[in-house]
């Protein structure tokens, strides 16, 4: 009998015998593999958490008990077990299931997920709230007891955070740990340690965790001691919790290091095999009612159960479509014939520039493969720095390097750069340090949805003094802007560009500078209207103007800051209607900048602003979303016609 099909919700899972859980895990794993083969998404991480997911929903009383997933890219099993199996084939598609857990979608999803390292803080907030509720209940109960002599036994809510070793490198996670150690709470943190982020986990935390589970002397002694204590009758299953902690003391002695978590007053258990579902259930049952904050450290394998993914978890983090039987990835595109991806142009150009400028260093918060820095990393490992999931630190670290004469290119995905706002202002912009920020995945990113669209960078960066903000219309412009940004005399320089491919198969143009703060006139016109664009959406505008047959001027502004005032003056003098187009929020971006400038200089053209609306944009393919948002060719043609009629 297929057990997975009998499970709509965790309450159905909880009807099964413990011995049946390995079968549920096997079916769940197969289900994920076959669904993802056809409808791609985050793959390897969810395979690694199958047993954990089943054990958690088996032991805890979800949704009353809270599971807080970090990032949520490992939570496909959780979705499937919590009422969404039938819709799972729509995962990440327009109108379908959301890419990451979201309370809007299910009561089993406890918070918005997508950006890493927040789970401990969220879970701590919930656990502390529960403590406060408990106390309030206790007081009320005390008063009622006096009156009625009765006592109800209300269940307290359990709160569990699930965080990967990669996400544990984020500063926010440490802020949570620090606070957890001093604020009364009964939270359980599960550390899902697979020694991987998207790329290999980096830094001291990874090494520390590694040491925690590789002391073979300790492991040997632990087993021997446990057997001995069982024989003497000192240890039984009930008492095992206490002994687990005793183990930590032995471990500290043997590895000659204190347990960091115990040092923070967080009871530490493990490391345990995260793929033994039966043992996992037993351990969770043992520790779930213990008071105070606690951590269970699990050792798991990213991609578990699918050999190619186990072998290369980085590629299989989000592999696209594949053959579930052979493991062959299906790549319909003929890479060689297509224009390059912006990330590859960034990576190749930086390497090229670094070869002739020894000051150049590349910095990424945990995205070397995603942002293309891996290209330079291969040839110049000593000049590239993967600093972990630590966007704020990446910026401030860059500031320190710039202060000492290096020229950091700090590459951050646009939406993750939101984490580093004050670092950009306080540590870089105020001192006008020469740091080049390359914001990849700017604009609509597609299937990763509202948490990942690079919607806000133009708007939130524009008010910051000393910043230069640019966006290339194509990949040759990206090269030129990178080269320009590296010139002496520049200060903090932001270059934002989108996910995906450019427009030229031949992209290796000579490295030349462009004048800072200067745009380009792409098309002159005698008509009343002018289109002003920034970034690659300009290419869509070129086609739209062409096809509309209208006599409309077009300027690629190229820089949001400083604005090209010569262009704006020319436009104000020649045209009475302006259409601004950007792949960023309408509020605060290019359109706002143009409006403000026109107003401040006494011009009153009719200005129509196209861009992202004042609501969070959901998931879908980039072309579907651009269509819905009015940023595709046909909708731009409509807007041009409406504005000029």
Catalytic residues: 302, 391, 419
Instruction: Name the β-bridge partners of 109.
Output: none
How far is residue 550 CA from its own chain's centroid? 42
Region from 20-28, 194-202, 398-406, 577-585 binding ligand TPP, contact rule CB under 6 A: 194-202
- Give the residue with the Cβ less far from ligand TPP, 192 or 585: 192
Per-position x/- string for 21-50, each x denoting binding to ligand TPP as judged by CB under 6 A, each - no binding: ------------------------x--x--
Q: Which stretch binds ligand TPP (CB under 6 A): 67-75, 123-131, 219-227, 336-344?
A: 67-75
Query: Of residues 323-382, which lie at the interface with ligand TPP (CB under 6 A)?
Result: 366
Does 198 bind ligand TPP (CB under 6 A)? Our answer is yes
From residue 476, alpha-carbon distances to 106, 407, 436, 511 in Å are 44, 21, 17, 9
Residue nearest ligand TPP, CB atom distance: 164
Nearer residue to ligand TPP within complex by CB, 416 or 559: 416
For residue 367 the two structure tokens come to: 């995205």
Query: Smaller CB distance to ligand TPP: residue 173 or 244?
Result: 173
| Under rule CB under 6 A, residue 131 binds ligand TPP | no
The interface region with ligand TPP, picked from 140-148, 161-169, 264-272, 375-383 by CB under 6 A, is 161-169
> Which 3 state secondary structure label does DSSP give 545?
helix
Q: How far is the CB of 176 from ligand TPP (least distance, A)?
A: 14
Structural tokens at position 549: 């047959």
Of 189-197, 276-284, 399-407, 613-621: span binding ligand TPP (CB under 6 A): 189-197
**In the complex, minimum distance from the CB of residue 643 to ligand TPP, in angstroms, rounded to a whole number:** 39
CA–CA gap between residue 90 and residue 426 (Å, rounded): 43
Neighbouring C-alpha atoms within 13 Å toward the C-beta of 529:
22
Q: Which two structure tokens, joined as six digits, stand for 455? A: 């919607």
- Dihedral angle, C-alpha 54, 57, 58, 64, nearest 10 °: 180
Using the contact rule CB under 6 A, the part of the chain among 163-171, 493-501, 589-597, 636-644 near ligand TPP is 163-171
Among 13, 24, 37, 71, binds ligand TPP (CB under 6 A): 71
Q: Is 389 in the site for ligand TPP (CB under 6 A)?
A: yes
Query: Segment near ligand TPP (CB under 6 A), from 86-94, 192-200, 437-445, 596-604?
Result: 192-200
CB of 332 to ligand TPP, least distance (A): 25
- With contact defined as beta carbons under 8 Å apart, do 100 and 74 qualify? no
Q: What angle do CA 33, 35, 39 make, to 5 degrees?
A: 120
d(CA 494, CA 471): 8
Spatial separation of the C-alpha atoms in residues 524 and 496, rounded to whole Å = 26
Q: Least distance to ligand TPP from the beta carbon of 299, Å?
A: 12
Residue closer to ligand TPP by CB (options 390, 530) is 390
Query: Closest separation between CB of residue 597 and ligand TPP, Å?
Result: 34
- Using only C-alpha atoms, the chain has a radius of gyration, in whole angstroms, of 28
Q: How far is the CB of 40 from ligand TPP (least distance, A)?
A: 15
Nearest to ligand TPP of 191, 586 (CB atom): 191
267, 419, 499, 554: which one binds ligand TPP (CB under 6 A): 419
- CB of 121: closest distance to ligand TPP in angstroms? 13
Whichever of 314 and 476 has its CB closer to ligand TPP, that residue is 314
**Applying CB under 6 A, does 121 fall inside the site for ligand TPP?**
no
Residue with tokens 């436009």: 571
Selected from 82, 102, 121, 194, the binder of ligand TPP by CB under 6 A is: 194
Q: Running DSSP on this structure, what letter comes out for residue 388? A: -
Q: Measured from the CB atom, is 406 or 617 closer to ligand TPP?
A: 617
Residue 552 backbone class (left: φ over 0; alpha: ψ -120 to 50; beta: rest): beta
Task: Provide the Cα torsion 317, 318, 320, 322; round to 10°.
Answer: 30
Interaction between residue 592 and ligand TPP (CB under 6 A): no
Nearer to ligand TPP, 72 or 443 (CB): 72
Q: Which of residues 73-112 bind ligand TPP (CB under 6 A)?
A: 73-74
Peptide bond into 63 cis (omega under 30): yes
Give CA–CA dist 631/639, Å, rounded: 10
Q: What is the DSSP string of 24-55?
A: HHHHHHHHHHHHHHHS----HHHHHTHHHHHH
Of residues 178, 170, 230, 169, the one with CA closest to residue 202: 169
Distance CA(437)–CA(346), nearest Å, equals: 12
- Give the Cα-Cα-Cα angle 448, 453, 456 (nearest 5 degrees): 160
- Residue from 29, 57, 84, 115 binding ligand TPP (CB under 6 A): 115
Question: In the bound complex, what is the minimum distance in angstroms from residue 53's beta carbon to ligand TPP?
Answer: 12
If one asks whether residue 116 binds ligand TPP (CB under 6 A), the answer comes out as yes
φ/ψ region of 91 (left if φ > 0, alpha if ψ in -120 to 50, else beta) reads beta
416, 456, 497, 559: which one binds ligand TPP (CB under 6 A): 416
Does 450 engage in binding with ligand TPP (CB under 6 A)? no
Q: Is 164 in the site for ligand TPP (CB under 6 A)?
A: yes
Burial 199-232 (b: 16+ CB within 10 A, else e): bebbbebbeebeebbebeebeebbeeebeebeee
Tell which one of 65, 165, 272, 583 touches ligand TPP (CB under 6 A): 165
Nearer CB in complex with ligand TPP: 70/130: 70
Q: Binding segment for ligand TPP among 80-88, 193-201, 235-243, 521-529 (CB under 6 A)?
A: 193-201
| Cβ distance to ligand TPP smaller for residue 172 or 281 | 172
167 touches ligand TPP (CB under 6 A) = yes
454 binds ligand TPP (CB under 6 A): no
196 in contact with ligand TPP (CB under 6 A): yes
Q: Least distance to ligand TPP from the beta carbon of 366, Å?
A: 4
For every residue of 179-218, DSSP letters joined together read HHTTS----EEEEEE-SBSSSB--SHHHHHHHHHHH-HHH
Number of residues that bind ligand TPP (CB under 6 A): 23
Cβ burial 372-399 (10 Å sphere, 16+ → b, else e): bbbbbbeebeebbbbbbbbbbbbbbbbb
* 305 binds ligand TPP, rule: CB under 6 A: no
Binding interface with ligand TPP (CB under 6 A) = 45, 48, 70-71, 73-74, 115-116, 164-167, 192, 194, 196-198, 302, 366, 389, 391, 416, 419
């Amino acid at each position: 009998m297929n057990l997975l099909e009998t499970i709509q919700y965790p309450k159905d899972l909880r009807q099964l015998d413990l011995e049946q859980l390995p079968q549920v895990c096997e079916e769940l794993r197969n289900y994920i593999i076959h669904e993802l083969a056809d409808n791609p998404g985050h793959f390897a991480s969810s395979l690694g958490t199958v047993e954990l997911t089943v054990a958690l929903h088996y032991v805890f009383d979800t949704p009353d008990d809270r599971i807080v997933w970090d990032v949520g890219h490992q939570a496909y099993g959780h979705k499937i077990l919590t009422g969404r199996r039938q819709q799972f084939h729509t995962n990440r598609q327009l109108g379908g299931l959301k890419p990451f857990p979201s309370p809007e979608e299910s009561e089993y999803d406890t918070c918005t997920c997508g950006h890493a390292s927040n789970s401990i803080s969220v879970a701590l907030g919930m656990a502390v709230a529960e403590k406060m509720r408990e106390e309030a209940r206790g007081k009320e109960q005390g008063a009622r007891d006096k009156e009625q002599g009765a006592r109800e036994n209300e269940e307290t809510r359990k709160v569990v955070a699930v965080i990967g070793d990669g996400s544990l490198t984020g500063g926010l996670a440490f802020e949570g740990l620090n606070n957890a150690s001093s604020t009364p709470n009964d939270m359980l943190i599960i550390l899902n340690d697979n020694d991987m982020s998207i790329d290999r986990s980096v830094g001291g935390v990874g090494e520390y965790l590694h040491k925690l589970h590789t002391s073979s002397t300790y492991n040997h002694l632990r087993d021997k001691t446990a057997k001995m204590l069982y024989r003497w009758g000192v240890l039984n299953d009930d008492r095992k919790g206490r002994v687990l902690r005793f183990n930590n003391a032995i471990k500290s002695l043997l590895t000659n290091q204190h347990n960091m978590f115990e040092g923070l007053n967080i009871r530490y258990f493990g490391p345990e095999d995260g793929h033994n579902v039966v043992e996992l259930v037993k351990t969770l049952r043992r520790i779930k009612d213990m008071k105070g904050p606690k951590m269970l450290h699990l050792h798991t394998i990213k991609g578990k159960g699918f050999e190619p993914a186990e072998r290369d978890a980085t590629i299989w983090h989000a592999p696209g479509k594949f053959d579930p039987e052979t493991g062959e990835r299906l790549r319909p595109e003929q890479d060689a014939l297509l224009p390059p991806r912006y990330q590859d142009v960034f990576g190749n150009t930086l390497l090229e520039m670094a070869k002739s400028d020894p000051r150049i260093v590349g910095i990424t918060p945990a995205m070397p493969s995603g942002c293309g820095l891996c290209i330079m990393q291969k040839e110049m490992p000593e000049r590239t720095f993967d600093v972990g999931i630590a966007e704020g630190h990446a910026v401030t670290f860059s500031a320190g390097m710039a202060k000492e004469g290096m020229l950091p290119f700090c590459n951050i995905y646009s939406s993750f750069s939101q984490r580093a706002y004050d670092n950009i202002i306080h540590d870089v912009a105020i001192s006008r340090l020469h740091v080049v920020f390359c914001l990849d995945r700017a604009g609509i990113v597609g299937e990763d949805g509202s948490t990942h669209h690079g919607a806000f960078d133009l708007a939130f960066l524009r008010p910051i003094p000393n910043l230069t903000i640019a966006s290339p219309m194509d990949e040759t412009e990206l090269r030129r802007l990178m080269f320009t940004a590296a010139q002496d005399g520049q200060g903090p320089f932001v270059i934002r560009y989108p996910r995906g491919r450019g427009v030229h198969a031949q992209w290796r143009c000579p490295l030349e500078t462009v004048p800072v703060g200067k745009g380009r006139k792409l098309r002159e016109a005698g008509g009343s209207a002018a289109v002003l664009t920034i970034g690659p959406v300009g290419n869509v505008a070129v086609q739209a103007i062409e096809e509309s047959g209208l006599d409309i001027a077009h300027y690629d502004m190229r820089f949001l800051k400083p604005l090209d005032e010569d262009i704006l003056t020319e436009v104000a003098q020649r045209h009475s209607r302006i259409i601004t187009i950007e792949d960023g929020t309408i509020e605060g971006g290019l359109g706002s900048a143009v409006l403000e400038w026109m107003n401040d200089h006494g011009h009153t053209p009719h200005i129509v602003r196209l861009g992202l609306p004042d609501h969070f944009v959901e998931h879908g393919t980039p072309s579907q979303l651009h269509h819905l948002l009015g940023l595709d060719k046909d909708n731009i043609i409509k807007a041009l016609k409406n504005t000029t009629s």
